[in-house]
Amino acid sequence: MSLATDSPVHSSSSGDFAAFLDAELDSISSDSSPNEEEVNDEFNSDSSDSSPNEEAENDSEIESQRIKRCRVETVENIEDPKGSTSHGSLEQNLEVSSSKDACTHPGSFGDMCILCGQMLNEETGGVTFGYIHKGLRLGNDEIVRLRRTDMKNLLRQKKLYLVLDLDHTLLNSTRLMHITLEEEYLYSQIDSLQDVSKGSLFKLDFLQMMTRLRPFVRMFLKEASQMFEMYIYTMGDRAYAMEMAKLLDPRREYFDARVISRDDGTQRHQKGLDIVLGQENAVLILDDTETELVDNLDDRDVRQVLKIVRKDVLKGCKIVFTRVFPTQFQADNHHLWKMAEQLGATCSRDLDTSVTHVVSQDAGTEKSRWALKNKKFLVHPRWIEAANYLWQRQPEENFPVNQPKNH
């Protein structure tokens, strides 16, 4: 089976890739023709008392016999149009067969080509995918081919890729040594590691850590798996990443082998998509830190689509802030101002009839009273934060502004 041409690598899962590679390695070590086995038996029976040098000579002779036999079988199977073997046509066909069998070395395990098994003297370039299979390295051309193939498969399933951070995104962890006296009550609430699917707080003695899963994370993963092929990508080490994956996905339904740690990355202290076997313009990233996105992206790039969708959340809203920013603070530099604009709202310092919302923490300010008098929405700053989190405009009545204490 040829990994470069007809491999079953991509059924949209690097876990399938790992299983395929294991099978290929087994077949390389175990596959042999009946004739080979007969030859091996003959030599083994004759050389049971042989010296190491004699055994080495026998092994060499076996390999020589196998190669000769393969050449003879190839010659016997090539026939000319008249039904008889022609020396000229045989030479020509053997030359063609030899050129077809030239290996491009699409990847390697250590120094061995994953396709032809040849030992490679020099590094062939490309990227190491140790999280898929230890020692696996794929060449750049093979990575491009696999990504294109996988993209076609995912689009047929109407899916994209989702790369998920761990800490402060799917869960929160702390070292046992950092737990304060006030937090020691948590030890009495720890759930069993025997059935992690029924718990959310776990003590991991192996890592000397305590981990709590975010609320509704299991529901999120179940629903997201219908729309995405998901990866875990953390700046924690390999051991931590694998333990967290067991807590989140004990049955290996969502991530399988797609668990990437800092030990797998090609850039120090930085996450890169070069080790994700997915087309970059179809990858969504859910992380508690922002990513430096490339400009001038293709129109169909999912990142551009998200920006467009995000701009529709508060489209048509014109917002004035009052009693939200510190005195003398430049308003348009505040994160709430920027957040509102990213959601499609227009922000202003001045009141006029086109204003739709006044955002405030105090209903007693002049601008707050103006909003109430002119039947404009008066909302708490959390209204903007909720829209940003949920990607949907929220009912204004759910975010009232407190009346002044002396009211």
- Residue pLDDT, tens place only, 11-27: 445 556 656 666 655 55
Rounded to whole angstroms, the Cα distance separating 190 from 187 reads: 6
Q: Which of the given ranges, 91-105, 110-124, 317-331, has the highest pLDDT on average?
A: 317-331
Kindly state whether residues 217 and 350 are assigned to the same domain. Answer: no
Kindly state whether residues 130 and 156 are assigned to the same domain. Answer: no
Kindly state whether residues 267 and 340 are assigned to the same domain. Answer: no
Is the pLDDT at 309 greater than 90, yes or no? no
Task: Answer positive or negative: Cα dihedral of 228, 229, 233, 237.
Answer: positive
Task: Answer positive or negative: Cα dihedral of 394, 164, 255, 28.
Answer: positive
Buried b (16+ CB within 10 A) or exposed e, 131-160: bbbeebbbbeebbebbbebbbeebeeeebb
CATH classification of the domain holding 225: 3.40.50.1000
Kindly state whether residues 211 and 133 are assigned to the same domain. Answer: no
**Which of 261, 290, 319 is at the close of a domain?**
290
Q: What's the pLDDT at 268?
A: 79
Rounded to whole angstroms, the Cα distance separating 1 from 15 reads: 18
Mean per-residue pLDDT, 222-227:
96
Q: Is residue 200 one of the residues assigned to a domain? A: yes
Number of structural domains (the chain) is 3
Whether the CB-CB separation of 120 and 132 falls below 8 Å is answered with no
As a whole number, the mean pLDDT across the chain is 79
Q: Is residue 236 one of the residues assigned to a domain? A: yes
Q: What's the pLDDT at 5?
A: 41
Q: Which of 205-214, 288-297, 348-357 has the lowest mean pLDDT?
A: 288-297
Whether the CB-CB separation of 266 and 127 falls below 8 Å is answered with yes
Kindly state whether residues 241 and 329 are assigned to the same domain. Answer: no
pTM value is 0.55
Rounded to whole angstroms, the Cα distance separating 43 from 37 reads: 10
228-233, strands of its sheet edge to edge: 259-260, 228-233, 160-164, 283-286
pLDDT-above-90 percentage for the chain: 50
49: left (phi over 0), alpha (psi -120 to 50) or beta: alpha
Kindly state whether residues 279 and 174 are assigned to the same domain. Answer: yes
Rounded to whole angstroms, the Cα distance separating 149 from 81 reads: 39
127-128, strands of its sheet edge to edge: 112-113, 107-109, 136-138, 127-128
Kindly state whether residues 218 and 184 are assigned to the same domain. Answer: yes
DSSP per-residue string spanning 256-322: TT-EE-GGG-SSTTS--GGGS-S-GGGEEEE-SS---PPSS--TT-HHHHHHHHHHTTTTT-EEEEE
Q: Is 162 helix (H, G, I), strand (E, B) or coil?
A: strand
Mean per-residue pLDDT, 30-37:
45
- Residue pLDDT, tens place only, 158-175: 999 999 999 999 999 999
Q: Is residue 195 one of the residues assigned to a domain? A: yes
Confidence class of residue 57 from pLDDT cuts 50, 70 and 90?
A: low
Q: Is residue 74 one of the residues assigned to a domain? A: no
Q: What's the pLDDT at 21?
A: 61
Kindly state whether residues 239 and 323 are assigned to the same domain. Answer: no
CATH classification of the domain holding 318: 3.40.50.10190
Q: What's the pLDDT at 62?
A: 53
Kindly state whether residues 132 and 255 are assigned to the same domain. Answer: no
Q: Is residue 164 one of the residues assigned to a domain? A: yes
Confidence class of residue 253 from pLDDT cuts 50, 70 and 90?
A: very high
Q: How many CA atoms does the CB half-sphere of 382 hold within 13 Å?
A: 8
- Token pair, residue 4, equals 């470069």
Instruction: Provide the domain limits for residue 284.
Output: 146-290
Q: What's the pLDDT at 109?
A: 86
Higher pLDDT, 92 or 253: 253
Residue closest to 258 by CA, chosen among 249, 269, 247, 267:
249
DSSP symbol at 167 = B
Rounded to whole angstroms, the Cα distance separating 167 from 271 reads: 14
**Which of 257, 290, 323 is at the close of a domain?**
290
Kindly state whether residues 274 and 173 are assigned to the same domain. Answer: yes
Kindly state whether residues 116 and 180 are assigned to the same domain. Answer: no
Q: Is residue 38 one of the residues assigned to a domain? A: no
- Burial bucket for residue 282 (CB in 10 Å: 0-12, 13-18, 19+): buried
Give the number of residues written for the chain.
407
For helices 34-46 and 52-77, angle between their N-to-C axes, nearest 10 degrees: 160
Mean per-residue pLDDT, 86-115:
63
DSSP per-residue string spanning 88-124: HHHHHHHHHHHHHT-----EEETTEETTT-PBPSS--
Is the pLDDT at 191 greater than 90, yes or no? yes
Kindly state whether residues 249 and 382 are assigned to the same domain. Answer: no
- Residue pLDDT, tens place only, 236-245: 999 999 999 9
225: left (phi over 0), alpha (psi -120 to 50) or beta: alpha
Q: Is residue 64 one of the residues assigned to a domain? A: no
Q: Is residue 271 one of the residues assigned to a domain? A: yes
